[in-house]
Amino acid sequence: MLAPLLPPSRPESRDLPPRAPLRSWVSDVHVMSAISSPPAGWTRLPSGTTSLVACWTGGEPVVAAVGPLQRATFKPSGAVPLYARLSFHPGGARPALGVAAHELVDRVVSLDELWGARARELRHALARVGGDAAAAVRLLEDALCRALDERADAPARRALLRRAVDALDASASTPDADASIPALARRLRVAERTLRALFHEEIGISPKRYARIARIRRAAERLATTGLARLALETGFYDQAHLTAEFRSLLGVTPRAYLAGARPPARPECGGATARR
């Protein structure tokens, strides 16, 4: 599954395994603490992942759902005592958050808008633990466990989604593979409309968009070490011109400008929550 791009690791930054009951739903837990002199910010690449984020910026913490991101953004940084992010597996966000993933695309939505009084209780509890990262993660995981206990699970649906996502992720590294959505639907033995509806509800974006994001992320990862013509061929683009066009469309800059440090438009992750539409 595509994960958001994070800033380079620092002593204050660490990844934790999700609690056992959540491992089918949450892919990873990332914590950053005591960030007093961070860099100006970092680029968040397009991603098909939805996350639950808690951020302490002075006063009561902000808790929000961060939806799939269709185009790259630049995330400005400030002094942050504590930041925690729980990223969902494919199919994990909807039952955990109680909202279809397509309602969160390109948005940061306050958990208050999704959970109401329960979110407010969570924020108050998080405020009481202050900068204790372990205690904060426990509270976030407890809240997700309770939410998941209340909503029916559909294992076959999640298994189908996982197989589709794995196939699209793999196709970004296999230029000769037939990565078309009709071909994927045939391999999975489902109708195309079923596959599209599944992605719309559980991931928030179409299978085609997801595949585009997988390719551009893979290309961005290898950009510094591989020539553009070869990179285009090995990551499933028609040619170098196609690769450059996709960089402009999804990252807002050319490959060379991206490599030189050009930044996409800024979007805050904490304190930038919007009302649910």
Arithmetic mean of pLDDT, 26-47: 77
Residue 57 pLDDT: 76
Q: What is the distance between the alpha carbons of residues 123 and 114, in angstroms, rounded to a whole number?
A: 13
Residue 6 pLDDT: 40
Q: What is the distance between the alpha carbons of residues 209 and 201, in angstroms, rounded to a whole number?
A: 14
Residue 180 pLDDT: 86
Q: pLDDT category, 64, cuts 50, 70, 90?
A: very high
Distance of CA 143 to the CA centre of its chain: 20
pLDDT at 71 over 80: yes
CA distances from 9 to 4, 30, 64, 217, 220 (A): 14, 11, 23, 19, 18
More reliable by pLDDT, 76 or 226: 226
Residue 131 pLDDT: 79
Domain positions in the chain: 13-149, 155-255
Q: Are 158 and 198 in contact (CB under 8 A)?
A: no
Q: What is the distance between the alpha carbons of residues 110 and 62, in angstroms, rounded to a whole number?
A: 8
Residue 37 pLDDT: 47
pLDDT at 178 over 90: no
- Torsion over CA: 266, 272, 276, 277 (sign): negative
Pick among 3.40.640.10, 1.10.10.60, 3.50.50.60, 1.20.1290.10: CATH of 155-255: 1.10.10.60
Residue 223 pLDDT: 94
Helical packing angle, 117-129 and 133-149, nearest 10°: 160
Tens of pLDDT, residues 120-170: 999 999 999 987 899 999 999 999 999 998 876 778 898 999 999 999 998
Tens of pLDDT, residues 79-94: 667 899 999 999 999 9
- Please provide the average confidence, as pLDDT, over all residues in the chain: 86
Q: pLDDT category, 109, cuts 50, 70, 90?
A: very high
Whole-angstrom Cα Rg for the chain: 19
